């Protein structure tokens, strides 16, 4: 019977270890951030402190990591003895996509020669680097790239080993500058004086006396309102009853006035008819008197009596006309009688 040969476990282990080493080496040499991956370095200069920015801190574009900080040192310019802190960053083009937009960024990152440098076109369109806070707990910073077309191009006049990209102050720098421009000593002095004045006011005996008097006044006002409420309630009841009685009285008067008005209207109509008949009779009498006057032209005595009679009739007619006018103006004159002008 054929006996199967046993495989040495050491051989299998060697093949597995070799495969793992090959995978790790491929990732190290050919993966993003590997030894053989393409990178480009740039130099940044910030006006503020770089405390919290370390070697290995991320470099991001709008929050997406595209590289890291490779070196931070301090340099002094022999001409003016000024200190500079160049921050060398390394950007990995492989971390940027290959579409049309990112291809332009990729060409910009690859450009390290003078002339028509694509990165300068992006700089003119507003590409700026800025320090931002990565963690409030640790205070770590990172470099963030974004488009700021309204900001000037600054911090690029340096002759270094790598091309310099413009930077802008961070939000924390602007806030610190605002606080630095504020007169903090004066504000603190005013705040201390205000606190001392408030404490003096709160511990003043006049304030406690005023509060005590206010408490007494509030108690007296409360008692006054309570007393006024007790007095106003019966008054309101009495006023309500008076209004009800007045309403009843007015209704009673209305019921009496309407029949009286009807009677006055009927009396006025009768009186007007009588006046019309009297006027007709006066006209007939005047015509008769005119006839008598013609007959008595030759008798002077009869003529004088006739004149006196006509005058009396004329007065009576005027009285009738005046009475008619008074009645038309006020139909109730028959009920009240004449008050003024009784002798007219």
Residue 142 pLDDT class (50, 70, 90 cuts): very high
- Please give the pLDDT value at position 114: 45
CA distance 91 to 68: 7
What is the β-pairing status of strands 141-147 and 75-76?
unpaired
Query: What's the distance, CA 264 to chain centroid?
Result: 68
- Please give the pLDDT value at position 68: 92
Please state whether the predicted TM-score (pTM) of the whole model is above 0.95: no
Q: Give whole-number Cα distances, 191 to 73, 188, 195, 324, in Å.
A: 43, 5, 6, 95
CA distance 123 to 146: 10
pLDDT top residue among 247 and 96: 247
E-strand ranges in the chain read 40-45, 58-61, 64-72, 75-76, 83-84, 86-91, 127-133, 141-147
- Please give the pLDDT value at position 294: 63
CA distance 86 to 44: 6
Mean pLDDT in residue range 81-94 = 84
Which residue's entry shows tokens 């000593």? Answer: 185
Q: 62: alpha, beta or left, given left = phi > 0 and alpha = psi -120 to 50?
A: left
pLDDT tens by residue, 299-334 = 556 667 767 777 777 777 777 777 777 766 766 655
- SS3 string, 277-335, reads HHHHHHHHHHHHHHHHHHHCCCCHHHHHHHHHHHHHHHHHHHHHHHHHHHHHHCCCHHH
Domain ranges (residues) in the chain: 34-169, 207-336
Q: Nearest to residue 160, comparing CAs of 220, 109, 84, 49? A: 84
CA distance 66 to 92: 6
- Please give the pLDDT value at position 69: 93
Longest dimension (CA), the chain: 200
- Please give the pLDDT value at position 58: 93
Within 84-183, residue ranges assigned H as helices are 100-110, 118-125, 171-181
Q: Report the percentage of the chain scoring pLDDT > 90.
A: 7
Does residue 53 contact residue 131 with C-beta atoms inside 8 Å? yes
pLDDT tens by residue, 206-228 = 777 877 888 888 888 888 888 88
Q: With 50 as the cut, is the pLDDT of residue 244 above it?
A: yes
Q: Nearest to residue 88, comparing CAs of 99, 101, 72? A: 72
- Please give the pLDDT value at position 98: 45
Mean pLDDT in residue range 84-103 = 70
């Amino acid at each position: 019977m054929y006996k199967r040969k046993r495989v040495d476990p050491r051989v299998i282990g060697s093949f597995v270890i070799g495969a793992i080493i090959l995978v790790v080496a491929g990732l190290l040499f050919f993966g993003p951030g590997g030894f053989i991956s393409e990178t480009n370095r740039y130099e940044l200069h910030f006006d503020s402190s770089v405390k919290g920015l370390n070697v290995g801190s991320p470099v991001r574009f709008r929050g997406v990591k595209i590289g890291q900080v490779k070196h931070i040192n301090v340099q002094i310019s022999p001409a003016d003895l000024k200190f500079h802190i160049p921050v060398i960053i390394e950007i990995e083009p492989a971390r940027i996509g290959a579409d049309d937009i990112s291809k332009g960024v990729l060409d910009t990152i690859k450009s390290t020669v003078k002339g028509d440098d694509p990165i300068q076109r992006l700089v003119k369109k507003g590409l700026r680097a800025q320090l931002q806070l990565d963690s409030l707990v640790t205070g770590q910073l990172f470099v963030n790239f974004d488009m700021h077309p309204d900001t000037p191009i600054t911090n690029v006049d340096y002759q270094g080993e790598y091309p310099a990209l413009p930077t802008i102050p961070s939000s924390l720098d602007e806030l610190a500058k605002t606080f630095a421009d504020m007169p903090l000593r004066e504000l603190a002095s005013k705040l201390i004086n205000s606190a001392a004045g408030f404490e003096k006011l709160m511990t003043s005996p006049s304030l406690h006396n005023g509060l005590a008097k206010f408490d007494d006044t509030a108690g007296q006002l409360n008692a006054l309102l309570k007393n006024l409420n007790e007095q106003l309630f019966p008054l309101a009841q009495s006023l309500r009853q008076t209004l009800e009685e007045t309403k009843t009285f007015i209704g009673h008067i209305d019921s009496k006035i309407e029949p009286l008005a009807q009677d006055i209207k009927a009396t006025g109509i009768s009186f007007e008819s009588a006046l019309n008949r009297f006027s007709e009779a006066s006209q007939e009498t005047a015509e008769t008197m005119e006839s008598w006057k013609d007959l008595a032209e030759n008798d002077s005595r009869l003529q004088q009596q006739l004149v006196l009679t006509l005058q009396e009739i004329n007065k009576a007619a005027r009285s009738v006309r005046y009475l008619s006018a008074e009645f038309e103006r006020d139909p109730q004159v028959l009920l009240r009688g004449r008050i003024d002008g009784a002798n007219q």
